[in-house]
Amino acid sequence: MKNVPLYLAGEFVQSQTDSWIDVTNPATNEVIARAPNTTPAEMRKAIDFAAETFKTWKEVPVSERARVMLRYQALLKEHHDEIAEILAQETGKTFDDAKGDLWRGIEVVEHAANVASMMMGETVENVAREVDTHSWIQPLGVCTGITPFNFPAMIPLWMFPIAIACGNTFILKPSEQDPLTPTRLAELFEQAGAPKGVLQVVHGGKEQVDTLLNDPVVKAISFVGSVPVGRYIYETGTRNMKRVQSFAGAKNHMVIMPDADKQQVLNALVGASVGAAGQRCMAISVAVFVGEARQWIPQLKEAMAKVRPGAWNDSGASYGPVISPKAKERVEALIATGEAQGAQLLLDGRNCTVDGLPNGNWVGPTLFAGVTSEMDIYNEEIFGPVLCCSEVDSLGEAIEFINRSPYGNGTSIFTGSGGAARRFQHEIEVGQVGVNIPIPVPLPFFSFTGWKGSFYGDQHAYGKQAVRFYTETKTVTSRWFSSEATSTEANFSIQLR
């Protein structure tokens, strides 16, 4: 049995805890490792060492910090497939999906290597006579990240590379359900030449999170997870006067106009709804068919019926298991509720089996039609391979339908009309919009910008907004006297007397 180490003060060490969390392979439910509930003394060591390291790390030239990220992204690429295999086995993702998870993180590390240009301040000469003003961008101090199970490479890499490149130190508390991938990320970060204490990795649950939320040394909290936890993180962190960015739930809609390319729509809907077993905050979980486009629902059923879940190394599998038996139970309960509340269950993914893996958390592709906004399957984030279809008569109705949702993470429209696309992207109250693109996650030089109940905070993830989140602005107003200017002022003073 592998015990997952802590990464404290620049060393990988075994926790002294007597409380452990089983890490399982979702395809078999076999225990593959144990993660520690980090002890209070170990948490104290992580926080104090991060604070002490900050004193020296913030003084390291920004170009040297950027070079650490250059070396780090090269190591991540070199070990790409190895990390993806670890990730696939502890999350259940297919190998291709696992590689995509890591690659999107690598792109953020590459972006962090350009941190110098993002930390440039501003200056204005002669704001008053011989008075100049300029601003500097300076790091905050000890920052922390609390990350979810569904992207154990990408989301930690959203956070700590940018925070550290900005001159902060960072404490990562990854999901206890898949801590092996973040551990490998930390090992390679050390190999990239990061000084001891710049990054710490601790494990556990609410107790460890509460320590980070309440400790006055911690200046900023980054979180991705569920709505209830996201609200708790935001409310607790801000009450303790910390900077918080908290990414929470989602219910992402895709609008299908009658003039869209039908085959592109069907392909996009299948992949965006069941990919990663639907365990993505940007998954399309509601398809809104406008007018005659509703006639494509039977063909959508045929397309979804062809996909199947399977093991991470099954090249024919479209997606893997959900993360845990509890998650499977919840998804299947919501499918039953949707049927009971009157939605048309066109494909039922309950009682799904995979040959040779009888104990996995399998849920087959599931499709509902006739879904209304009053139903639980519409209002709750299912986080499984379940697609709900709703039908409206016009684009205006579709926009109103989506804007009534309390969530605003991502949305998309498939259409051949530039006018329809422009109206949609202008009027929709959602942070990330795709036009003929189902999952519009931006590249790192933009920012991941959820709205409404999908995000609590002011500055979003990666891009320029992340740099602003992890830094403060200092404004300096200065006046310098030359010997000539001093002499002139003295003579002027004498003349006045």
Beta strands in 212-251 (DSSP E): 218-224, 243-247
Q: Exposure of 268 by Cβ count < 10 A (0-12 exposed, 13-18 middle, 19+ buried)?
A: buried
Q: What are phi and psi of 228, to 5 degrees?
A: -60, -45
DSSP state for residue 315 in the 8-state scheme = T
Instruction: Say which residues have a Cβ less than 8 Å from residue 419's Cβ, sequence separation at least 6.
Output: none
Nearest alpha-carbon partner for 211 in 43, 54, 87:
43
Q: How far apart are CA 64 and CA 116, in angstroms?
A: 10
Q: In what order do the strands lie in the sheet with 2-3?
A: 2-3, 30-36, 20-25
The catalytic residue among 281, 352, 388, 389 is: 281
281 is catalytic: yes
Rounded to whole angstroms, how far apart are CA atoms 201 and 186? 8
Rounded to whole angstroms, the Cα distance separating 142 from 159 reads 13
Buried b (16+ CB within 10 A) or exposed e, 386-425: bbbbbbbeebeebbebbeebebbbbbbbbbeeeebbebbe
Strands of 97-159, DSSP E: 123-128, 131-139, 142-146
**What residues act catalytically?**
281
